[in-house]
C-alpha cells in the first residue's frame, strides 16, 4: 500500500501555484491601497479582478488532499492523533515564525505597517488559530493573511474527529455537519465573531474537494475532448476552478463569502509531492 508521501497528483502543483499567485496579487493590491497608493496604472487595471479565487482553490485542494491521503485511515486506532500531529508539524512552526516576525515588525517599525495595534487576547488567539477581531474590525490574526489558516486548522480538527468513524459514516457526518453550520450562519449574531467565522458557507468548499477525491476513488473518467484526458489514463479526473467572491463586511467585521470553487488534479502516477507551505498556502 502506498503511503501519502509516495503519491503524486500531476497538475496539482501547477494549480497550487496559480492559487498562490492569485492570493499574492490580491494582498499586494490591498496593501498598496492601504498605504494610500493611488489606484491607477497597473493597480487600476487589476483591481476589478477577483484574485480572491485563489483562496477558494486552496480550500478545495485541501479537502481533496486530506481525503486522498487519509481515506484508508478512517476507523483505525490512533488515526486522528497521527493526522493532527502531521498537520501541526507541517503548518504550525512556519506560521508561528511569520507571526513572531510580524509582531517584531509592529514593535520595531510600526510606521511601516498599516495596522500596529497590539492586543494580548488577539495575539493569543492568533497563535491558537482562533478568529479574533483586529483593530480594523476584521476577523484577522496578527498576520492578516493567516485567516485562511484559521479555516484550515478548523477543517483539520473536524476531519480528525471523523477519522474515529468508518469512511462512509465519517464523510456523511462531516458533510451533514458542514451543511448544518452553513445553514445556521444567518442565524448567528454578528457579535459572536468565532461562530460567524466558523459557520461561514465558505467551509463547504472543503467538501467540494472531498467530493472530487471520492470521484477519483470511484474511477470517474474525464471527457475525451479535454486535453488532459488525452495525456493520461481515462480514470483520472480533472476539473476547472470557478469564481469566488471578495471578502465582505458584516457588522464592522468581515470574513470571506462562499462561492463555489473546484480544483484540478490529474495524473496516473499517484505520488503526492508537497510544495512550499506557508500562510495561505499549506502543504499537503
10-residue mean pLDDT series, the chain (284 residues): 48 73 67 58 60 82 93 95 96 95 87 74 95 87 88 97 97 97 94 95 95 87 46 38 37 37 35 39 50
Map grid coordinates 449574531 to a residue: 189
Distances (CA, A) of 13 to 38, 195, 235, 264, 275: 34, 33, 20, 10, 7
Residues contacting residue 218 through CB under 8 Å, at least 6 positions apart: none
Say what the pLDDT of residue 35 is.
56
C-alpha cell at 184: 445556521
CB hemisphere CA count around 163 (13 angstroms): 22
Q: Which three cell numbers stand for residue 57?
A: 482553490
Q: Pseudo-torsion of CA 84, 89, 95, 100, nearest 10°?
A: 120
Q: What are phi and psi of 281, to 5 degrees?
A: -140, 60
| Predicted local confidence at residue 51, as pLDDT | 61
pTM of the shown model: 0.70
Comparing CA positions, the residue from 7, 61, 2, 10 lying closest to residue 270 is: 7
Type and span of the H or E element at 248: strand 247-250
Please list the residues that pair with 256 across neighbouring strands: 247
Among 271, 250, 134, CA closest to 185: 250
Rounded Cα–Cα distance for residues 243 and 257 (Å): 12
Contact 2, 271 (CB under 8 A): yes
State the pLDDT at residue 236.
36
Note the pLDDT of residue 220.
78
Q: Which residues contact 168 (CB under 8 A, 6 or more apart)?
A: none
Amino acid at each position: 500500500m502506498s503511503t501519502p508521501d509516495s503519491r503524486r497528483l500531476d497538475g496539482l502543483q501547477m494549480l497550487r501555484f496559480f492559487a498562490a499567485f492569485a492570493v499574492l496579487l490580491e494582498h499586494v493590491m490591498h496593501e498598496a491601497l492601504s498605504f494610500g497608493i493611488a489606484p491607477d496604472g497597473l493597480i487600476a487595471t487589476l483591481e476589478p479582478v477577483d484574485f480572491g479565487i485563489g483562496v477558494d482553490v486552496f480550500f478545495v485542494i485541501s479537502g481533496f488532499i486530506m481525503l486522498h491521503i487519509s481515506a484508508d485511515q478512517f476507523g483505525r486506532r490512533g488515526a486522528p492523533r497521527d493526522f493532527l500531529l502531521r498537520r501541526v508539524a507541517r503548518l504550525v512552526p512556519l506560521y508561528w515564525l511569520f507571526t513572531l516576525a510580524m509582531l517584531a515588525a509592529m514593535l520595531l517599525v510600526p510606521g511601516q505597517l498599516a495596522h500596529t495595534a497590539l492586543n494580548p487576547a488577539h495575539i493569543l488567539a492568533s497563535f491558537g488559530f482562533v478568529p479574533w477581531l483586529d483593530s480594523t474590525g476584521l476577523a484577522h490574526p496578527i498576520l492578516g493573511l493567516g485567516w485562511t489558516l484559521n479555516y484550515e486548522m478548523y477543517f483539520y480538527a473536524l476531519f480528525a474527529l471523523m477519522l474515529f468513524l468508518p469512511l462512509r459514516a465519517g464523510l456523511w457526518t462531516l458533510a451533514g455537519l458542514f451543511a448544518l453550520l452553513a445553514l445556521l450562519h444567518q442565524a448567528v449574531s454578528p457579535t459572536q465573531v468565532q461562530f460567524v467565522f466558523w459557520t461561514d458557507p465558505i467551509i463547504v468548499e472543503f467538501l467540494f474537494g472531498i467530493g472530487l477525491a471520492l470521484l477519483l476513488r470511484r474511477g470517474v473518467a474525464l471527457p475525451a475532448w479535454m486535453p488532459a484526458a488525452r495525456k493520461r489514463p481515462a480514470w483520472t479526473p480533472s476539473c476547472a476552478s470557478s469564481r469566488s467572491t471578495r471578502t465582505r463586511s458584516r457588522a464592522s467585521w468581515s470574513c470571506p463569502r462562499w462561492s463555489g470553487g473546484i480544483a484540478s488534479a490529474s495524473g496516473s502516477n499517484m505520488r503526492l509531492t508537497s510544495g512550499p507551505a506557508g500562510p495561505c498556502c499549506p502543504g499537503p
